[in-house]
Structure 1
Amino acid sequence: MAQKKQRRFIMRSVILSVLAIAIIYVVYANFTKDERGKLKVGDQAPDFVLTDVEGNKHRLSDYRGKGVFLNFWGTWCKPCEKEMPYMNNQYKVFRDQGVEILAVNVGESDFAVNKFINKHDLVFPVLIDKKKDVLQTYGIVPLPTTVMIDPNGKVTHISKGELTEKNIEALMKSVMP
């Protein structure tokens, strides 16, 4: 009888220990989930391939040697719309100085994006992230968010929210080769 009680006590202790370890792990995972997988300044920018509105494929790694102004946006986003003309102006100045703009539209139809491009006479490449894969890889929240990438492919700055024309100019200067 005593041996049976001892085995039961050991079994209960093992089960209780496993449960305690599981609870500790879940609590730890919840508190650190925001930091895991989140893009940070100094990280190598994850490579991707997206198609622009004209059907051309753009691979981020093909822009090595140039600075990249990587902007995530949506046509419905008023701050996004407000900064687009500024981006367009600065692109015209910096494209010959080795800085590219890649504007990544998040999950919208080609029709809506083309209408927006025509309305604002955008001249830089507009890429479509229909499935939001790149958005998720980069951990982008909110829109607009801009990621600055130096000529070596490293993230130098992450800006969340609307940018002024002076901000855009300074950011583009910061990644010039």
Structure 2
Amino acid sequence: MDKKKKRSITRGVVLIVLLAAIVYTVYTSATKEKVEVLQVGDKAPDFELVDLYEGDLKHRLSDYEGKGIFLNFWGTWCKPCKKEMPAMSNQYAIYKDQGVEVLAVNIAQSEFEVKRFIESLDVHFPVAIDQTKSVMTAYNVDLLPATILINPEGNVEKIITGEMSEQQIASYMESIKPEQE
């Protein structure tokens, strides 16, 4: 009889713990703040990141108003990121005087790693590190590389996940280029 009583008490405790876990899970998922998923047409969230090479230079999205922005998220360990960076640099050389800015945002790696990587590729566009992943979160970036095209009005024009060819990069930069007067 004593064994049966202990077993039923143990089962009762386990049942109460499971029930509490279920109630807690339902409650937290119901009350959790919903993160808006960024979509084409949305106003691009503003942010501020420090330039990799010029520590006193801050990149604010709002500072690029009137320009097309090619916002690229990447990591040094990402092979497709490494493959597309020289093509981005080539196209940036063509489009920067036509009102298109590139901002390459590294996802929370060390300054040493990022500088070594960028210098090994000999690319020439602004680079910043998102140390807290707040910009990555604001733009709902999960997979790398990810590129957000932002038109001169500051709205998301296109969201691209995965590696791009140089022809695609050129086409995308052309699509966000400001109208010439």
Q: So what's the TM-score if we normalise by structure 2?
A: 0.79
Q: Could you say which residue in structure 2 is the equivalent of 1:39? A: 38
**1:176 has 2:177 as partner:** yes
The correspondence of residues 28-107 of structure 1 with structure 2, limited to 5 A, is 36-54=35-53, 55=55, 56-107=57-108
The C-alpha deviation readout for 1:115-159, integer Å capped at 9, x for no partner, is 011101111000110111100111101000000000010000000
Identity %: 53
Distance 2:106 2:99 in 1: 23
The C-alpha deviation readout for 1:151-174, integer Å capped at 9, x for no partner, is 010000000000100110000000
Count of paired positions = 153
Distance 2:177 2:88 in 1: 15
What are the ranges of 5 or more consecutive residues in structure 2 without an aligned counterpart?
Answer: 1-22
* C-alpha spacing 1:42/1:121, structure 2 compared with 1 (3 Å): same
Distance 1:125 1:25 in 2: 40
The C-alpha deviation readout for 1:72-101, integer Å capped at 9, x for no partner, is 000010000000000000000000000000
Q: Could you say which residue in structure 1 is the equivalent of 2:128? A: 127
How far residue 37 of structure 1 moved from its aligned partner, in angstroms, is 1.4
How far residue 25 of structure 1 moved from its aligned partner, in angstroms, is 9.6
Q: Could you say which residue in structure 2 is the equivalent of 1:114? A: 115
How far residue 29 of structure 1 moved from its aligned partner, in angstroms, is 7.8
Distance 2:126 2:76 in 1: 15
RMSD: 2.1
Q: Could you say which residue in structure 2 is the equivalent of 1:165? A: 166
The C-alpha deviation readout for 1:4-59, integer Å capped at 9, x for no partner, is xxxxxxxxxxxxxxxx9x96995x789xx6xx411100000000000111212110
Distance 1:25 1:76 in 2: 35
* C-alpha spacing 1:25/1:109, structure 2 compared with 1 (3 Å): closer
| SS of aligned partner of 2:43 | coil
Letter in 2 for 1:165: E
Q: So what's the TM-score if we normalise by structure 1?
A: 0.81
The C-alpha deviation readout for 1:60-82, integer Å capped at 9, x for no partner, is 00000100000000001000000
Runs of 4+ in 1 over 6 A off after TM superposition: none
| SS of aligned partner of 1:112 | helix
